[in-house]
Amino acid sequence: MSLSGPRSRVTLAAGLACVAFFAVCAIAMVGAQGSRVAGRPPAEHAKAVKRLLIHNAMVIYGNAKPAFGPMDILVEDGLIGRIAPAGALAVDVDAVIDATGKYVMPGMVNTHMHWHDERAGVAQPIQYARNLYLAAGVTTTRELGGSFDKSKRWQAESAANTIVAPRMQVYWTVNRGSGTAEAIRANVREAKARGADGLKIFGMDRDQLEVLMDEAKAQGLKTTTHIAVEEVTARDFVELGVDSIEHFYGVADAALDGIQAFPPDHNASNEVHRFARAGELYAQANPDKLRQVIDLMVARGVSWSPTLSIYEASRDAIRAQNLPWFRDYLHPALERFFAPSLENHGSYFIGWTNTQEVRWRQNYRVWMDALRDFGVQGGRITTGDDAGYIYSVYGFGLVRELELQEEAGFHPLEVIRHATANGAALLGLGDRLGRVRQGFAADLLVVNGNPLENLRVLNPAGADVNVNGRNVRGGGVEWTVKAGIPYHGPTLMREVKEMVAKDRASARAKTTAGE
């Protein structure tokens, strides 16, 4: 199939004219080729139709091959039915999204997240995080620890499309109980019986981990780990066959000569101590050993969900504390949770110093190089935001994760593959999710602008765009299609803004009433 040059130039020109923030681009690109499109009703927010046509889109497939277009994508019964050059499909449709000047890419998979309906004991509507994730282009989530039964219920409701939310996988945090082999095996069997999609492993000694991994294999459960500073490192997990590794800790821990050089007063239960020292970890790793650990991870097919964005405040606290979208979109429960305090996990910014930030920047450089090394050798990298902690707001954190993976040295096409096809593969759904491909789930984003030019256009609050030398507000995901149902980004964000305004007002009223 060849693409006519003139048409693609016209499309790009139209794209430049279509950057007004969330504006409906009514440019008559449809023209003569769009006779089947003209007269068809436009898609409506959260309204399922049998046949939805996404018309005239530049397509990013999700497997890192270059964008291609303009194309029409026919969505039928929740699946991608056909993909063809714009105007070439001779079918009748029930609704149309005009993607002229826009890019279409697969919905994103957030491989490390938590569903929160409260923060620090203050209620936070669950729809807040659901809307934010959808508006940021997240159509699938993997929850690594939460309120298990509630999340299983939400998972079923999302699968039935009776709630407005991404697809969900729900992992079970293994509880070692008394720590005996039998207690650990019993807990893994309970996870299986209650329908866990996998296990999140945390805080096990080597002998316990051996038992756990043996039982997980017997039960056919996937495994992932947040490796703390503990007896085991990434090497133990990789040898025992873990599917994925979260964050960064255990990888560099496996490359130390001996153990990390903690000062005598180091108290691992104090998060100010813990996070300050975590920022010194990669500088202490032996580079040769680090390379060997990375090689081993690649050789054993272990995936890495690095969650670069969740620690970013450690390297630049003032940036993290003053993000422009806090003004309209930061829920008061989250705002209270983020405030420096030893009570709330990840709120360790008590007297945070420039020296600590400098060390963290060094930590990031070595960590990013290790991640790049892992990816270049064929290791599977995914994207997770772990938001709801450390100034990271749901969805915004995932987009920032993409930006930081570009900083680590990956081409935006590769970064998008990490966020789409790789995430789906890690979840065992790589044969039906995470790509723009016929027969795959119709989880698609219609983006205002070109994410390959600027990943920031995926930010749910939009991005700055240069139009003929003028800075205008553009970007944003115009439509997030999940299982064929179109959700309108600006509508989702307007609802978030309303939730935040309402809950701020009631928090103020409580304060005034002296509660």
Q: Which residues bind Zn ion (CB under 5 A)?
A: 386
> Residue 1 in contact with residue 455, Cβ under 8 Å?
no
Cα–Cα distance measured from residue 87 to residue 331, given in angstroms and rounded to the nearest whole number? 44
Q: Which is nearer to Zn ion, 204 or 477 (CB)?
A: 204
Phi–psi pair at 446, nearest 5 degrees:
-105, 110
Q: Which is nearer to Zn ion, 386 or 403 (CB)?
A: 386
* The dihedral formed by the CA atoms of 86, 90, 91 and 97, expressed in degrees to the nearest 10: 20
Nearest to 68 by CA among 81, 82, 90, 84: 84
Three-state DSSP at 486 gives strand
List of residues 6+ apart from 461 with CB closer than 8 A: 324, 325, 328, 329, 396, 476, 493
Cα–Cα distance measured from residue 248 to residue 246, given in angstroms and rounded to the nearest whole number? 7
Q: Which is nearer to Zn ion, 235 or 247 (CB)?
A: 247
Q: Which is nearer to Zn ion, 216 or 390 (CB)?
A: 390
Q: How far is the CB of 140 from Zn ion (least distance, A)?
A: 16
Start-to-end CA distance of the chain, whole Å, equals: 68
Residue of this chain nearest to Zn ion (CB atom): 386
Q: Which is nearer to Zn ion, 386 or 503 (CB)?
A: 386
Cα–Cα distance measured from residue 88 to residue 9, given in angstroms and rounded to the nearest whole number? 19
Q: How far is the CB of 150 from Zn ion (least distance, A)?
A: 17
Q: Which is nearer to Zn ion, 427 or 444 (CB)?
A: 427
Cα–Cα distance measured from residue 457 to residue 445, given in angstroms and rounded to the nearest whole number? 12
Q: How far is the CB of 155 from Zn ion (least distance, A)?
A: 18
Q: How far is the CB of 326 from Zn ion (least distance, A)?
A: 21
Q: Which is nearer to Zn ion, 40 or 200 (CB)?
A: 200
Q: Which is nearer to Zn ion, 404 or 483 (CB)?
A: 404
Q: Which is nearer to Zn ion, 335 or 386 (CB)?
A: 386
Q: How far is the CB of 113 from Zn ion (least distance, A)?
A: 7
Cα–Cα distance measured from residue 130 to residue 257, given in angstroms and rounded to the nearest whole number? 44
Structure-token match 């929160």, residue found: 116
Q: How far is the CB of 479 from Zn ion (least distance, A)?
A: 29
Structure-token match 């800075």, residue found: 471
Cα–Cα distance measured from residue 155 to residue 157, given in angstroms and rounded to the nearest whole number? 5
Question: Long-range CB contacts (< 8 A, 24+ apart) of 375-380?
Answer: 375/410, 375/414, 375/418, 377/294, 377/295, 377/298, 378/298, 379/294, 379/297, 379/298, 379/302, 379/303, 379/304, 380/301, 380/303, 380/304, 380/422, 380/425, 380/426
Q: Which is nearer to Zn ion, 284 or 392 (CB)?
A: 392
Q: Where are the alpha helices (DSSP H) in 257-411?
A: 271-278, 281-284, 287-299, 317-321, 326-329, 332-338, 354-376, 396-407
List of residues 6+ apart from 282 with CB closer than 8 A: 248, 252, 290, 362, 363, 366, 367, 370
Q: How far is the CB of 112 from Zn ion (least distance, A)?
A: 5
Q: How far is the CB of 304 from Zn ion (least distance, A)?
A: 15
As a residue count, the chain comes to 515
Q: How far is the CB of 12 from Zn ion (least distance, A)?
A: 40
Q: How far is the CB of 143 from Zn ion (least distance, A)?
A: 9
